Amino acid sequence: MTITIDRRRFIQSAAAGSAIAAAGAIFPGISFGAWPKVAGNTGVVSWQKTPCRFCGTGCGVLVGVVDGRAVAVKGDPNCSVNKGLCCMKGYHSVQALYGTDRITTAKIRKNGEMVEVPIQEALDLVAAKLKETRDKHGKDSVAIYGSGQWTIPDGYVASKLFKGCLSTNNVEANARLCMASAVTGFMTSFGIDEPMGCYEDIDHANVFITWGNNMAEMHPVLFSRMLANRKRRTNVKIIDFATRLTRTSQAADTSILFRPQTDLAVANAICHEIIANDWVNWNFVNEHVSFHKGKTNIGYGTEDHFAFTDQDEAISFEEYKKFLADYTPERVEKISGVPAKDIKYMAALYGDPALKVTSFWCMGMNQHTRGTWINNLVYNIHLLVGKISTPGNSPFSLTGQPSACGTVREVGTLTHGLPHGVVMNEHDRQMAAEIWEVPVANIDPKPTYHTVEMFRALDRGDIKFIWIQVTNPMVTMPNLKRYREGAKKDDRFIVVSDVYPTPTTDVADVILPSAFWIEKEGMFGNSERRTQHFAEIVKPPGEAMSDTWQIIEVARRLGFEKQFPWSKEDYIEKIWEEYRKFHAGPKHEMASYQVLRARSGVQWPFVNGKETRWRFNPQYDPACTNGKDFDFYGKKDNRAWIWARPYEPAAESPDSEYPFWLNTGRVIEHWHTGSLTRRIPVLHNAVPSGYVEMHPEDAAQLGVVNGEKVRIISRRGEIVMPAQINGRGVPPRNMVFVPFFDESYLINEVTLDAFCPISKQPDYKKCAVRLEKA
């Protein structure tokens, strides 16, 4: 595609270029960004609210608009999430609208070449190909793969079309790679998804324990709220419990390192200590907790068609205590490398009745082959001491995408999910069929493929048509090579809706131009059950269209006008009001469209005009009905469940042939696969490329210095990238860390597609590699 710049702009940028050159001569190493200015602007900006486009914190931002262009950002002081403060990604988010390689027209593959076509023609082809594939290969040969960046209406219409109309449960989202273990953790421990607490816990807690979570970089706005609390109040501590030293470790009061995967053993040892010292809150445990165990030796899912169903068995407290006997701090020290005294220290913090404790975690615990278990185990700790559902006492699962909660978890855009409940449940299917106005027989009671298996099915040929919206699986899938080669196979048809070219659009047969973020109306849902509406603030470029409307267009071409009757003027409002019916009732009541429009986010359950800040606590939660001080109404026995879950090793651990752990993750400057943040000049110029973080002694042994190339080799693939030594993060010996945002260093060609058998979420944090100097 060629880029047209009008002459005047060209002259301006040329002039700016020479100014940069001149400034560079005076201040070597400094580039001055002299941007052209919106013509005729008097400095008067109109500000409109939206949630930030990036992580799951869900900061309220105000976007400044001049002449139909987004020109500035400030934090929304009326949003309780961030109270007017953003991070570098939020402040510069609007620059992501203006990369010159925006996809503004539809493209289809003709004789191997991508050619531009009118979007209506492309949508005709998508509908025709979907129908043809379905007719020829059956209903489960077509799939849609979205993400936690889908707005709530995007996910809702995707589910309605595929599950309700096309009768296939081939609906997944990249939140499977990100949040699935959090969901199964909540479901198994509480029977209902999403955190009981809220960000206000930060203003009440005395102790923060971050579990494998570099919050300083990944959730900076919440982390700085913790720091501000530590400064303002006495008796506030931050404990960083991690596998490598990060900026969070630097800011924490104490940093405790554990060997990968052994968080399972340490969590059990903490519970062992709590019981051994009788720090158990017996009133709470006797009233509100029941004890359970599940299957063990549950596998890793690395083989195709892997299946696993857990089976719970009630146990007594005595049996649970006996199970914990293996996890004395001294024994766990040997497994985990965490000194027994540090385990006892953490147990004492959780156990001290005078301290309010909040635990935070995100990908470290979720991207884990025992992700469901480690979620359960941290809940165990909080439940034993009764530190839950009260201000400051909160086991808090953070999210990484703006609407992983709102769209994927609440709308249920996973193979087993429905907007309310699951496809396996007859009552839930009936409810969906009624609201969707489809025969109940349309909804298949059997889940099909979770994400990894969906891409395996694409490789095998069980799936022939896949529509990928708002995500970049050709960067993010573990064991990537297999899935890329699968997607490229001859009779696979790949539709990709996106805003910029990515390695995923590279494998597409049709590329649909999407409206980005504030170029369309929608809602996100953040980590603390907050639904956040945003209006269309600026116009989408060219023929770009919202993902919701793309799906509606295709649905109508397939003959589902009745289910998708809305007009462009008010479809978001109509979809919201239809979707809201699924959540009626005090456990999940959602605010009306009008309320969402008016406020900077509203927390559900939203009952009688009131938000619910702490669930399961009758002082705050109107769904509590048992007359006691807590009501864990998610489970049939009205109790929260403590699980006996053992330590089991990782799917692949270092050995003599592959002696290093490979850990992957993120940096503050970039978000997800970087397709947006790398187009934000400030962020790209701060961290322009991927790198491999090494321990200085490992680097010395290998003979590499900062910036020299290292080859990272696993059983799946290899990659060569520059080393970073003593940078912002320092892994322990025999571990390397690689951020995955850079599409020119596809680290996922090296990672392993092992997953948690319960959540089916892959473990991106642990596999074995060896290193060579390249």
Q: Which of 2, 42, 311, 567 binds other proteins (CB under 8 A)?
A: 42
Query: Going by C-beta distance under 8 Å and a sequence separation of 6 or more, which residues neighbour residue 635?
Result: 190, 191, 290, 641
Q: Which part of the chain contacts other proteins (CB under 8 A), choosing from 151-159, 308-316, 635-643, 676-684?
A: 676-684
17 lines the binding site for other proteins (CB under 8 A): no
Window 570-589: contact mask with other proteins (x via CB under 8 A): --------------------
CB of 364 to other proteins, least distance (A): 20
Site for other proteins in 74-103 (CB under 8 A): 74-75, 77-80, 83-88, 91-92, 95, 98-101
139 lines the binding site for other proteins (CB under 8 A): no
The residue among 91 and 373 lying less far from other proteins, judged by its C-beta, is 91
Site for other proteins in 197-226 (CB under 8 A): 216, 220-221, 223-224
The residue among 20 and 348 lying less far from other proteins, judged by its C-beta, is 20
66 forms bridges with which residues in the sheet?
69
DSSP secondary structure string, 342-368? HHHHHHHHHH-TT--EEEEESHHHHSS
Q: Which part of the chain contacts other proteins (CB under 8 A), choosing from 24-32, 142-150, 335-343, 509-517?
A: 24-32
* 400 is a catalytic site residue: yes
Amino acid at 158: A
228 lines the binding site for other proteins (CB under 8 A): yes
Site for other proteins in 724-763 (CB under 8 A): 724, 726-728
659 lines the binding site for other proteins (CB under 8 A): no
Question: Residue 226: which of 215, 242, 214 has the closest Cα?
Answer: 215
The residue among 210 and 448 lying less far from other proteins, judged by its C-beta, is 210
* 703 is a catalytic site residue: no
* 178 is a catalytic site residue: yes
Q: Which part of the chain contacts other proteins (CB under 8 A), choosing from 173-181, 338-346, 559-567, 687-695?
A: 687-695
Q: What is the 3-state secondary structure (H, E, C) of 213-257?
A: CCHHHHCHHHHHHHHHHHHHCCCCEEEEEECCECHHHHHCCEEEE
Q: Take residue 760 and report the two structure tokens written for it.
A: 């089916």
Say if residue 590 is exposed, middle or buried (CB neighbours under 10 Å; 0-12, 13-18, 19+).
buried
Q: Take residue 580 and report the two structure tokens written for it.
A: 């809201």
Window 230-259: contact mask with other proteins (x via CB under 8 A): -x---------------x--xx--------
**Which one of 363, 431, 590, 721 is the catalytic residue?**
363
* 387 is a catalytic site residue: no
72 lines the binding site for other proteins (CB under 8 A): yes
Report the distance separating Cα 216 and Cα 313, nearest Å.
Answer: 39
684 lines the binding site for other proteins (CB under 8 A): yes
Site for other proteins in 485-514 (CB under 8 A): none
The residue among 609 and 703 lying less far from other proteins, judged by its C-beta, is 609
Give the residue carrying structure tokens 């987004």: 70
Nearest-5° angle of CA 720, CA 179, CA 210?
80
Report the distance separating Cα 334 and Cα 344, nearest Å.
Answer: 15
Question: Residue 270: which of 199, 332, 323 has the closest Cα?
Answer: 332
The residue among 84 and 646 lying less far from other proteins, judged by its C-beta, is 84
The residue among 95 and 479 lying less far from other proteins, judged by its C-beta, is 95
Query: Going by C-beta distance under 8 Å and a sequence separation of 6 or more, which residues neighbour residue 404?
Result: 56, 148, 175, 178, 179
3-state secondary structure of 310: coil
Contact, 644 vs 315, CB < 8 A? yes
Report the distance separating Cα 439 and Cα 441, nearest Å.
Answer: 5
Site for other proteins in 514-543 (CB under 8 A): 535
* 363 is a catalytic site residue: yes
Residues with catalytic roles? 89, 178-179, 363, 400-401
